[in-house]
Amino acid sequence: MKNKKIYIAGHHGMVGSAIYRALQNNGYKNLIGRSSQELDLRNQAEVKDFFAFEKPDVVIDAAARVGGILANNNFPYQFLMENMQIQNNLIEASHQNEVEKFIFLGSSCIYPKLASQPLKEDCLLTSSLEPTNEWYAIAKITGVKACEAIRKQYKKDFVSLMPTNLYGTRDNFDLQTSHVLPAMIRKFHEAKEKSEKTGINEPVELWGTGKPMREFLFVDDLADAVLFALENKLSHHLYNVGTGIDITIKELALKIQKITAHEGEIIWDNSKPDGTPRKLMDVSRLKNAGWKYKTSLDEGLQITYNWFLANQDNFKEVKI
């Protein structure tokens, strides 16, 4: 497998770059990637020509348009259409070019808003989605079902991995488009810096009540799960990837406040939406197959904050 040509779509993003590093560190040398300037994955003709020329043996789809509640609400059409374009072009080109293995990465938001916890893979499509991110979720569901259909009809090794909320180095810290954890890191850090300048403890305002519960997975652990899926033939088409442990948003805020050394007040704006009440993943299927996460939340938060501190001058340019 280590001599196979492996194409990692989205290799410049947080997830794709972590996968690229993990494979390199484990002796994979024939890795290929293209920036969005070199290859527009939304363009079917460009993707078709790329596959015809490169002929990859394995494709890992870590490319997507992603964002938090605000971005999903503001750009529903782009989140639906662009994600379907990207994944459909990659899946079809892989199918047509006899790619040996295809690993599709999605998100826990594919599961119903009020599904019983923890979320099992077979609760997919059993009830309605969370409205604040349904556009992205619907796109990812179509990718999961496309991979399942190819697996069923053509007996090909197409597998889908659904990670829980991800964070880590090369995360997106833009307050308009980021997810909750990196947004908190930036807010607490900037409030601490302002406090140091003014001598007055600057408060941090956060959305919602702080009561929803979330599970967080360090991105290098997802990369390790991708490596596991690459090196093993998995018996199911869909696997959750997470820690199986969740905390409240308020508890997360307190952890980040401590790491950033912010000493001001936390103000919760409960006029803003909370999103899904809880999204804990049942990770027993992948655990039974032989994979388990390694990085604790405290350890991962510290690594992520250290990266943020070292990259403050250029983190705004990081694209996912």
Q: Count how many Cα atoms sit within 13 Å of the Cα of residue 239 in the half-sphere of its side chain.
A: 28
- Confirm if 266 and 206 have CB atoms less than 8 A apart: yes
| Residue 315 CB contacts under 8 Å (≥ 6 apart), including other chains | 173, 308
Quote the CA–CA distance of 273 and 292 in Å, as a whole number.
Answer: 32
The annotation places the binding site for substrate at: 187, 207, 214, 274
- Tell which residue, 182, 50, 160, has the closest CA to residue 107: 160
Peptide bond into 118 cis (omega under 30): yes
Catalytic residue, from 111, 136, 167, 239: name it. 136
Three-state SS for 69?
helix
Q: How far apart are CA 204 and CA 285, in angstroms?
A: 39
Q: Residue 18: how many CB atoms within 10 A of its CB?
A: 24
Structure-token pair, residue 219: 């991105």
Binding residue positions for NADP(+): 10-16, 105-108, 140, 163-166, 179
Is 300 in a helix, a strand, or coil?
helix
Task: Write the DSSP symbol of residue 56.
Answer: -
> What does the radius of gyration of the chain's CA atoms come to, in whole angstroms?
19
Q: Is 7 a catalytic residue?
A: no
Give the number of other CB atoms < 10 A from CB of residue 307: 17
Please list the active-site residues.
136
